[in-house]
Amino acid sequence: KNERILVSACLAGFNCRYDGKNCLNEKILKLVMEGMAIPVCPEQLGGLKTPRNPAEVCINDGKTRVFDIAGNDVTEEFNKGARETLKLAMLYGVKKAVLKSKSPSCGSGEIYSGKFDGELIDGDGITARLLKYNGIEVIREDDL
């Protein structure tokens, strides 16, 4: 039986990215239109506006925080977005999520370094991490 999955809203064509654009993936949009996928943007659910400054996850002394490029600490918003996304996943009994690669929220397996230098490091975005921790399988959109 096919179960509904969660997908990053930007992949379904929503203009929720930090720069006010989307990253439309036709396969994802089709799943949403068929009622098989639920689009969600953790950063918007966390209360951040669109457009917004780009942000990166910074791990320092084992502590994970999120800063935008202007140096503002947006950890609380990112954490809230992750919790709200998990709530949605639980509500719908979702077991799988297809999320946007490299994002500080949605990225899985690799994210930007936290130094805004374009380098990638091993790690998960804040939402991807919380979903995985709660037993939800996270698939990168470029692995689809």
Residues in contact with ligand SF4 by the rule CB under 6 A = 8-10, 16-17, 41-43, 100, 103, 105-106
Return the half-sphere exposure (C-beta side, CA atoms, 13 A cut-off) of residue 57: 28
**Please, which residue, 20 or 115, has the CB nearer to ligand SF4?**
20
Please state the closest distance from residue 35 (CB atom) to ligand SF4, in A.
19
Its sign, for the CA torsion 1, 109, 41, 87, is positive
**What does the alpha-carbon distance between residue 36 and residue 102 come to, in Å, rounded to a whole number?**
24
Please state the closest distance from residue 56 (CB atom) to ligand SF4, in A.
12
**Please, which residue, 15 or 113, has the CB nearer to ligand SF4?**
15
Residues in CB range of 139: below 8 A, 6 or more apart? 96, 97, 98, 99, 108
**Please, which residue, 106 or 111, has the CB nearer to ligand SF4?**
106
Return the half-sphere exposure (C-beta side, CA atoms, 13 A cut-off) of residue 31: 24
Please state the closest distance from residue 2 (CB atom) to ligand SF4, in A.
22
Please state the closest distance from residue 127 (CB atom) to ligand SF4, in A.
7
CB 138 within 8 A of CB 132: yes
**Please, which residue, 5 or 16, has the CB nearer to ligand SF4?**
16
